[in-house]
Each structure stands twice: as C-alpha cells, then as structure tokens.
Amino acid sequence: MTDETKINITPGFSCPIPKSEYDKILLAHGGGGSLSHQLISKMFLPQFDNEILNAQHDSAFFTHGKYTFAFTTDSYVVQPIFFPGGNIGDLAVNGTINDLAVSGAKPLYISAAFIIEEGLPIEDLWKIVLSMKEAAYKAGVQIVTGDTKVVEHGKGDKIFINTSGIGIVEEGIDISPKNCKEGDVIILNGSIADHGVAIMSAREGLTFETEIISDTAPLNDLIGSVLSVSKNIHVMRDPTRGGVASTLKEIALSAQVGIEIDEKEIPIKEEVKGACEILGLDPLYIANEGKVILFVAENDSEKVLLEMKNHPLGKESRIIGKVTKEHTGIVVMKTLIGSKRVVEMITGEQLPRIC
Amino acid sequence: MKFVDEYRDLKSAKVLTKQIEEVVTRPWAIMEICGGQTHSILKYGIEELLPKQITLLHGPGCPVCVTPLEQIDKAIAIASRNDVIFTSFGDMLRVPGSQNDLLSVKANGSDVRMVYSPLDAVKIAEENPNKKIVFFAVGFETTAPVNAMSVLEAKRRNLKNFSILSSHVLVPPAIEALLSSDDCMIQGFLAAGHVCTVMGYEEYIPLCEKYKTPIVVTGFEPVDILQGILMCVKQLEEGRCEVENQYNRVVTKSGNEQAKKILSAVFDTIDRKWRGMGNIPKSGYALKEIFKDFDAEKIFDVGHLEQNESSLCIAGEVLKGVKKPVECSAFGKECKPETPLGAPMVSTEGACAAYFHYGKNKFNAVHTDLVK
C-alpha cells in the first residue's frame, strides 16, 4: 500500500452514524428514490470513498494495461419469482448485462449467487436455472462463478439472486453524463412501465383482457449495433427502479443540463395505461427491465433512431425529448394538454391512492 | 384508452381555454375541493393555461391530509400491539403522527399491511382467527360505502376479530365551514365528482343558495377541470349561483341510492376534528352503536388520545385556500415528502406534495394575491 492509498483508521474508533430522519431501514430506502440516494451519499460513498466509486456510473470502470473494463453488481429480490414474461433468473442475468451495456461495455462474464429459503421446490429452482442459462446464451455471456446459501424457512423469501458482471469497453467509447450537451436528442426504445405493472398485477392478482408482460430483455445487442453506427452517444441509462422520470432527473443533475420531454411521445401500452389508472400509479415512475434511454448528438440522432428501429428490441423507438441550456438540473415535460410542468424524482415507494 | 384519452386531449383543452379567456372580465378565486383535482391541476399544469385573472385555491379534499393527528396516533397505538394485524390504504402509512408513522411501526416489526380494499382486510381476518384485524377506514363519502360493506360482510361471516378505525369525513359540512369563515376568499367551488357519484348533488343546493356561491360538480381529467372552471366562471360573470353538473357522465342528482342506504345503515353522522381546520359539526361518520363490536376505538380503548398540531406547519391555511403551499417558510426545506411536517405534504393528493412533486416552486411563476 502506498502512502496515498493508506486508509486512516484509528483502531477502536468508529465514525459516528450519519444523521438520518429514520433510525431503522424502511422499504423506501431500497426504492431507488431520494431515500436510497441518501443512503448512498451519506453512508456508502463517504466511507468507501475512492475515485472509481465516486464516478457513480451504472458500472465501475477500471483500466488494466491498455484495456478498460466495466464491473457491476445487482441483487434481485422480486416477488413473485415467476411473472408474465420472465422470472427472477432471467431478470437477474439481463439486469446485470444491461448495466454493463448502458455503460458502453461489451458484457463478457457474470457471476450468480443464490440465497435460497429452505423449502423452495427443486422444480422452481430448475426452471430458474434454465432461464438463466437461456438468457446468458441469448446475450452471448457466460456465467463463470457462483455461490449458494440456504437460509431457514421464514428467514428469506423463496430465493434471492445476486449477479455481478464484467465487460470490456472498446477504445473510443466514452459514455458519461459529462458528455451531455445542449441540443442532444433523447431516444427511448419502446413502451414504458411494462415490467413494474406486470409484477404489480401478478402480485395483486389483477387480470386484464390483455396480459401485461414484463419487458425483461438483454440490451447489449441493440446497444452494440447503435455504438457501431455512432461515436456520439453521450449517455445511456436503463430506466429500472424509479422509472423514466427518476432516470432523467438523475442525468439532469449529474450532467448539469436541462431536459425537456414531450409526454405525447412517450409510448405506453393501452393495457399498461389502464392498469396504472386502476392502481393509481404514474407510469413515468414505474420500473422497466428492457428499456434504454440514449442521449445522442443531434447530427447522429436520425441514423441512431433508424438503426434502433431495425432491431427487434427497438422497433418502437422514439425521440422523446432534448437537452436544453435552460433550467439546469431540472426535467420539464410538455403535458398532453400543452402546458409544461416539472418532473421530479420519486420519493419513497409509490403508494396506491385511496380514493 | 376510451374515457380517458378524450379527457386529456390537447384540442379540447385549447378550445376550453379560449372560451374561458373570452368569458372572464375580472379576477375570480375558485376552489377545487378535491385532492384528486388538485393533483390533476398540478400534473397537467392547468393553472399555466388559465388567464391570469383566475386563481385556483386548493381545498381540503384529501382525506389523508385532514385526518387529525390524534387519529394517526390511535392507529399507531393499535398497530403496535402484538395481537393486531393493522391494515390500511397505502397513503395513510406515511402520514406522520405526533411521534412516528405507520411505516416506522412496520419497520419495528409490527404487522402492518397495505390493502387495496377493506374486503381484503376481512379476508385476512378470516385467515388469521388468532389475530385482531383492524382496518383504518379513512376517506370521504367515496370510500365510506365499501368500508361500511366490510363491517356488514364481517358480521355476515360472523367474524369476531375484525374492526375498523373510522375516520370518515364529509364534504358539504367542510364547504360550509369554509364559506362561513371570516377569511374566506372563495367565490366559486368545483365540487368533487366522485363524492357526488355516491351522494348526488342535492345536498349542495341549500349551501349554494345560502352563501350565494356557484358550485360545479366536476370530474378529474384536465378537460373536465377546464370545463368545470368555464362553467363556474360563466356563472360568476353572469351573476348566477347554481349547482351545475359538469361530470354528468357519472354523477346524477340523487347519487347511488344503494350506497347511501348502506351508509345510513352502518354510520351515524358525528362532529369530527379535521387536521388544520379544527372541529366541524356533523362532518364525520362513526359506527352505529349496534356495530360497536366492530369499532376499533371502543375495542382498544384509544378514544382518550388527543394531540395538537406542530406550530411550524401552515397546513390549516393551505387547506382553507388562504395560503399557497409555496408561501410556507418550511416548504421544500424542513418539509418535504420524505420528512413531512404536515399532512398535505404526505399524500400525492395533498396540495403541498403536489406542488413539490410537480416542481411548482421551481418552474412556474405562481400568481397569488390576485384576489384580495
């Protein structure tokens, strides 16, 4: 350890707990909203403090020799573990692949760690394993290491999966909020809120005329083809927890730009819209698992859009907005009735309305 | 989507906005009574489309917001018991009581569950015969019938372990309280469409006549609200005051007779304390004596709990429409949706939360003090 990297810790001394409004963890701390951000900014970042982490990308970037690698991790606790369009297994594989892909990396290897509750039917585990195998195969990655732990009945919820992944970033690719510029065009590859609404409908036992299916999918192939036609992709993000609204707000803040989007350009499936009306949810804040938001230099936007539309996962791609010089750090949306309003980050969990 | 898209339509909105501009000749202050309407107004930026002469005042029609502190404290006291499964609609879980909220109680290990319907709570009661299941029955006339149904259903199934903590409030007495207060600035009302779906609008006619104030029963989509405003402004400009029904695709004059029958069978009308507004005569529902075995307040002996409001919060003035949320010194600083000082910052239908969530403080110029 060199002098610069030496960590200054006095034995027996521990840092005071950072001030927080709550003395216990609430579900909302994991909701991807402002309470989650408080945990990260007040507890994790200052204590784990280092250059790679502080960049706060979807993946951590590090170089070895002349190569740049991306490294990411994510845990999956979805309930129910089987839902229309997928299960916790392919979700866990796709999610980590997508975190790497939106960082501009080509995913190579992933790990899979299972925390299983005593009593889980072997048949369920088998289904999960097979779907993970298929997801990895489809995305062209290998699952190369793993771990299994079993906890007593009642001490877990059927199965939790953690996946980590490593990818390689090709030379010349630089995806980062700092590249975001006035005039950048914002592209989305299809309808929003499918995953979150599919899960919530399954959880609540709601059925609709048309089944709502999760959009879980690996985005690396779509992103790979986009990167092959344009070197001017400035930012990419997969709008998972917190949805499109929270993702755009995060980018506006970290890139210090203004964002303007047009509500009528944001595609939502009829059945998803209907479910959101019933449940009192705002689709802008609902999780997606197969969607990507791209910030592209204006000159390249048309060819990127065309390339995306030619890909099976991008047929519904649309320009949903642009980057502005005004209202730095603020996302403004032109509403369906022609007025404008601010789009904020989600706070806590989205709770269903009562009347 | 049918019955939604046509009421969120740019063209219709433009036509209505133009008509409002043509009709209005001087400043008017109109209150939308319902939190659902407040939410829509902010979500769709409706104020921005209106002529400057029109000020919208945001009324006390958010049941989460007006549930008094002591009622939350009672809920927390009951929910903290080991023998109880406490059930509630999602919104109520985050409302701060005098010490903490129901989500914190849940984090501390109590069994607090969010349900979509009180009938789900009845089902939980049936499945858990060794526990006492309590449902937090909050809401206006809209949710009251289904909550009343849950009591009838529990009785029918002969359940001895189900009860409700009734905190129901009623709209017309609140309108009367607002109109009769000295600092009232309200010149016209948009009444809450869904409340009138149940109750009809007959009971608004005497209010309208007594206080010479137009009342327009209005829906919740942006086009509904713009049309309600147009109808209200027309009345004001023409010097009329009537009860009109914009939401006639859903609301009838006499309402839902079946639901009203259930309400009068299960509830008595009582005086009720409203958060930020104080005691309003005959403004709430409590279970009738014959249903006392389903009354959580009686079963758990929490009737004595009383609490006063935080002095920092101006929720009362906000709920009466006297002040806008952004006029509060704590707005967006000490008071945010994560750390609400008062109830209007908790529910998405609360005026303060809607202002915060839709960035009213950051982007739009607020036109206040137009009507004085």
Q: Answer whether the bond into residue A80 is a cis peptide, omega within 30°.
A: yes
Contact A341 B348 (CB under 8 A): no
**Which residues of chain A does B80 touch, with a Cβ-Cβ cutoff of 8 Å?**
none
Q: Going by DSSP bridges, is the β-strand pair B162-169/B132-139 parallel, antiparallel, or unpaired?
A: parallel
The reply to whether B29-51+171-245 and B66-170+255-299 are identical in fold is yes
Write down the domain spans for chain B: 29-51+171-245, 66-170+255-299
Nearest CA in chain A to B9: A337
Q: Name residue B181's amino acid.
A: S
Q: Report how far apart, in Å, the C-alpha atoms of B31 and of each of B24, B42, B322 are.
A: 16, 14, 10
By the CB < 8 Å criterion, does A352 face chain B? yes
In three-state form (DSSP H/G/I as H, E/B as E, the rest C), the secondary structure along chain A is CCCCCCCCCCCCCCCCCCCCCCCCCCHHHHCCCHHHHHHHHHHHHHHHCCHHHHCCCCCEEEEECCEEEEEEEEEECCCCCEECCEEHHHHHHHHHHHHHHCCCEEEEEEEEEEEEECCCCHHHHHHHHHHHHHHHHHHCCEEEEEEEEEECCCCCCCEEEEEEEEEEECCCCCCCHHHCCCCCEEEECCCCCHHHHHHHHHHHCCCCCCCCCCCCCCCHHHHHHHHHHCCCEEEEECCCCCHHHHHHHHHHHHHCCEEEEEHHHCCCCHHHHHHHHHHCCCHHHCCCCCCCEEEECHHHHHHHHHHHHCCCCCCCCEEEEEEECCCCCCEEEECCCCCEEEECCCCCCCCCCCC
Q: Would you call A197 exposed, middle or buried from its count of C-beta atoms within 10 A (0-12, 13-18, 19+)? A: buried
Kindly report the nearest CA distance between residue A55 and chain B, in angstroms.
26
Q: Would you call A291 exposed, middle or buried from its count of C-beta atoms within 10 A (0-12, 13-18, 19+)? A: buried
By the CB < 8 Å criterion, does A351 face chain B? yes
Q: Going by DSSP bridges, is the β-strand pair B84-88/A318-324 parallel, antiparallel, or unpaired?
A: unpaired
**Which residues of chain A does B354 touch, with a Cβ-Cβ cutoff of 8 Å?**
none
Contact B357 A344 (CB under 8 A): yes
Kindly report the nearest CA distance between residue B45 and chain A, in angstroms.
5
Nearest CA in chain A to B12: A337
> Strand, coil or helix: what is B61?
strand
Q: Has residue A204 got a pLDDT over 80? A: no
Cα–Cα distance, B196 to B142 (Å, whole number):
8
**Which residues of chain A does B357 touch, with a Cβ-Cβ cutoff of 8 Å?**
344, 347
CB-nearest partner of B89 from A337, A340, A352: A352
For domain B66-170+255-299, give the CATH number.
3.40.50.11740
Cα–Cα distance, A96 to A107 (Å, whole number):
9
Nearest CA in chain B to A279: B116
For domain B29-51+171-245, give the CATH number.
3.40.50.11750
* pLDDT tens, chain B, 372 aa long: 777 888 999 999 999 999 999 999 999 999 999 999 999 999 999 999 999 999 999 998 888 888 888 899 999 999 999 999 999 988 888 887 888 889 889 989 999 999 988 999 999 999 999 999 999 999 999 999 999 999 999 999 999 999 999 999 999 999 999 999 888 889 999 999 999 999 999 999 999 999 999 999 999 999 999 999 999 999 999 999 999 999 999 999 999 999 999 999 999 999 999 887 889 999 999 999 999 999 999 999 887 777 766 667 888 888 788 888 999 988 988 888 877 887 788 777 789 988 988 877 665 433 333 222
Contact B1 A341 (CB under 8 A): no
Q: Quick one: tokens of A130?
A: 């097979």
Kindly report the nearest CA distance between residue B331 and chain A, in angstroms.
15
**Which residues of chain A does B114 touch, with a Cβ-Cβ cutoff of 8 Å?**
351-352
Nearest to A320 by CA among A334, A339, A308: A334
Contact A355 B140 (CB under 8 A): yes
Q: Is B159 within 8 Å of B126 (Cβ atoms)? A: yes
DSSP-derived letter for residue B215 is E
Q: Quick one: tokens of A13?
A: 């001394």
Contact A336 B116 (CB under 8 A): no
pLDDT band at A353 (very low <50, low <70, confident <90, very high): low
Radius of gyration of chain B (CA): 21
Over the stretch A33-71, which tens digit does the pLDDT of each residue have? 677 888 899 999 999 999 999 988 889 999 999 999 999
CB-nearest partner of A354 from B1, B89, B104: B89
pLDDT band at A16 (very low <50, low <70, confident <90, very high): low
* CATH architecture, domain A177-343: Alpha-Beta Complex (3.90)
Cα–Cα distance, B265 to B268 (Å, whole number):
8
Question: Which has more pLDDT, B298 or A210?
Answer: B298
Strand order in the sheet with B243-245: B54-61, B28-34, B188-192, B215-218, B243-245
Q: Quick one: tokens of A256?
A: 């210090």
Over the stretch A317-348, which tens digit does the pLDDT of each residue have? 999 999 999 999 999 999 999 999 999 887 66
Kindly report the nearest CA distance between residue B355 and chain A, in angstroms.
10
Contact B49 A344 (CB under 8 A): no
Q: Which residues contact B285 (CB under 8 A, 6 or more apart)?
A: B144, B166, B168, B169, B170, B263, B267, B268, B269, B270
Cα–Cα distance, B327 to B317 (Å, whole number):
10
- In this prediction, residues A309-315 reach a mean pLDDT of 97
Kindly report the nearest CA distance between residue A209 and chain B, in angstroms.
13
Kindly report the nearest CA distance between residue A58 and chain B, in angstroms.
25
Over the stretch A256-274, which tens digit does the pLDDT of each residue have? 999 999 999 999 999 999 8
Write down the domain spans for chain A: 58-169, 177-343
Fold of A58-169: 60s Ribosomal Protein L30; Chain: A; (3.30.1330)
